[in-house]
Amino acid sequence: MEMSEQEIIGKGTWIDKLASELLEREKSLGRNLDIIRVESGLGASGVPHIGSLGDAVRAYGVKLALENFGYKSDLIAYSDDLDGLRKIPEGFPDSLEEHLAKPVSLIPDPYGCHDSYGMHMSSILLDGLDKVGIKYEFRRAVDTYKKGLLQEQIHTILQNSTKIGDKISELVGQEKYQKYLPYFPVCANCNRLYTAEATEYIADEKKVKYHCHDAEIGSKMIKGCDHQGEADITKDLGKLAWKVEFAARWAAFDIRFEAYGKDIMDSVKVNDWVADEILGFPHPHHVKYEMFLDKGGKKISKSLGNVITAQKWLEFGSPKSILLLLYKRITGARELGFEDIPSLMTEYNELEDIYFGRIKVDNKAKLTKSKGLYEYVNLLNPPKQSTTHVNYRLLVELAKIFKENRSERVMKKLLDYGVIKNPEPEIEKLIELAGNYSNEFDEQEKIQVDLDDTARKALKILVDALGAEEEPEDIQNTIYQIAKSNDVQPKDFFKILYQIILGTSRGPKIGPFISDIGRKQVAKTLSEYV
Which residues sit in the known binding site for ATP?
302
CA 454/CA 465 separation, integer angstroms: 17
Q: Alpha carbon of 301 to those of 51, 103, 242, 385: distances in Å?
A: 9, 20, 19, 39
Amino acid at 424: E
Are 326 and 54 a contacting pair, CB within 8 Å? yes
Annotated binding site: 302
CA 380/CA 372 separation, integer angstroms: 9
CA 299/CA 291 separation, integer angstroms: 7
List strand residue ranges (DSSP E) for 56-148, in order. Answer: 73-79, 137-140
Q: Which residues contact 382 (CB under 8 A, 6 or more apart)?
A: 355, 374, 375
CA 352/CA 33 separation, integer angstroms: 34
Q: Alpha carbon of 185 to those of 79, 92, 117: distances in Å?
A: 19, 27, 20
Q: Is 230 exposed, middle or buried (0-12, 13-18, 19+ CB in 10 A)?
A: middle
244: nearest Cα among 212, 283, 206, 214: 283
Q: Which residues contact 36 (CB under 8 A, 6 or more apart)?
A: 22, 26, 66, 71, 72, 73, 256, 257
CA 213/CA 460 separation, integer angstroms: 71
> Residue 65 in 3-state DSSP?
helix
Strand 183-185, strand 238-240: pairing? antiparallel
Are 38 and 256 a contacting pair, CB within 8 Å? yes
- Cα 395 versus chain centre, distance: 25
Amino acid at 350: E
DSSP letter, residue 13: S
